[in-house]
Amino acid sequence: MAVATAQPRPTEDTRDARGIRVPAITTRYRGRVVVVSASIGAGHDGAAAELTRQLRAAGLVVDRHDFLDILPGAWGRLIRGIYRAELTVAPRTWGWVADATGGDTTSARTSAVLSRVAGARMMEAIGRDPAVVLSTYPLASQLLGRLRQEHRLAVPAVTFLTDMSVHPLWVAPGVDTHLALHPVPADQARSLGARNTAVAGPAVGPAFRPHHDEAERVAARLAFGLPERARLALVVAGSWGVGSVDRSARDIADTGLAVPVVACGRNDPLRKRLSRDSRIITLGWVDDMATLIRACDLVVQNAGGLTSLESLMSGVPVLTYRCLPGHGKTNAAALQQAGWADWVQRRQDLGAALSHAFSTPAPSVIDRFRAVDTIMGIAAGAPKILA
């Protein structure tokens, strides 16, 4: 088993644009980490990309794999297709699936099947002598945990929980540690039987930061052709533009309190429909979400995923409205419990929620903890940092 070695180096903490401490990487590591994500939506891959960046900055070699490519045959494409179809065509069914897979025996059955059909392929992808294997996707975590239980994987397996709420499939008995965004999901993971949990904070890239001054914000608006002075509510619904986006945008416009700016992602029919309403600004696929978020006064989201965290790290308040079934609702509840985003559950409450958000500073998200030291402390056998 390979063990990560460390070389101390003197560094100093820095502070971000809001004066919040950004802990320095105090240790330089040598070793190899394997990161397993999944190309389903943007959240799992987004977290994996940022963790990979941080790990490489700490001196490690990082190999990244898509779990859907590790599955045999057409399994990966089938899983991605079913998930997308459920969210875009019949989103209510996703809530049913989430509920149905939350039973006590689902984890054991799932990991056993995955071990039979993909265990050897996973071990081949991991290769020889990594220091640690890190997952940002629940099914990958189930397989890694099973491989640990079967003594086929001899190095620690770590799960990075990408959501603010924890579905039971995220917690795999054989996984050594679960890293959470906040104490709320850390507590949920513990209640589901996670052996060790640690709060690592959001894995959000450095591009997502508050604007330096008003001139920068105006420049950001001009870059997207947005009005310079109007209050702008950015409506996001993932790369596929799923959910009741039409109704959310029109509800915001009806309040007269903000101009809705809808990031339609790759959903061209959605953009075409909303473009008929002159009160709504529509955008297609956006490469520079960091600048777009800084250009707006508020973000309205429906899933509680990566964009919510990116917005908060950018100093932009977040509201949850007309959320998706399943993880959308559980994330909405967790974000509200953490004090990170209010959940507007009734249309008649939207105006008051918008007014409150516009008049209240965005909540201070916990420091951008670098998960590197926690991950490599696990690999090196250091004491766990418990949430």
CATH fold for domain 5-204+368-379: Rossmann fold (3.40.50)
Calculate mean pLDDT across residues 42-64: 91
- pLDDT band for 131, please (50, 70, 90 cuts): very high
Question: Which residue in this structure is represented by tokens 């401490």?
Answer: 21
H helices present in 62-200, as ranges: 67-70, 75-89, 91-100, 106-126, 138-149, 183-191
- What is the mean pLDDT of the segment spanning 198-203? 89
What share of the chain in percent tops pLDDT 90?
Answer: 61
Q: Band the pLDDT of 26: cuts 50, 70, 90.
A: very low
Q: Are 355 and 317 in contact (CB under 8 A)?
A: no
The residues that bridge with 281 in the sheet, in sequence order, are 261
Q: Give the model's confidence band at 28: pLDDT under 50 very low, under 70 low, under 90 confident, else very high.
A: low
Please determine, for residue 100, whether its predicted confidence score (pLDDT) is greater than 70: no
Average pLDDT of the chain, as a whole number? 85
Does the pLDDT of residue 127 top 60, yes or no?
yes
Write out the residue limits of the CATH 3.40.50.2000 domain(s) in the chain: 214-359
Q: What's the mean pLDDT in 62-82?
A: 83
Architecture of domain 214-359: 3-Layer(aba) Sandwich (3.40)
Residue 3 DSSP label: -
The structure's pTM equals: 0.86
Who wins on pLDDT, 3 or 129?
Answer: 129
**pLDDT value of residue 5:** 55
Q: What is the DSSP code string of 279-310?
A: T-EEE---S-HHHHHHHSSEEEESS-SHHHHH
pLDDT reading at 365 higher than 70: no
Range in 1-15, 30-44, 234-248 with the lowest mean pLDDT: 1-15
What is the pLDDT at residue 152?
A: 96
Q: What is the DSSP string of 175-222?
A: -SEEEESSHHHHHHHHHTT-S-EEE------TT----SSHHHHHHHHH
Bridging pattern class, strands 232-236 and 259-263: parallel
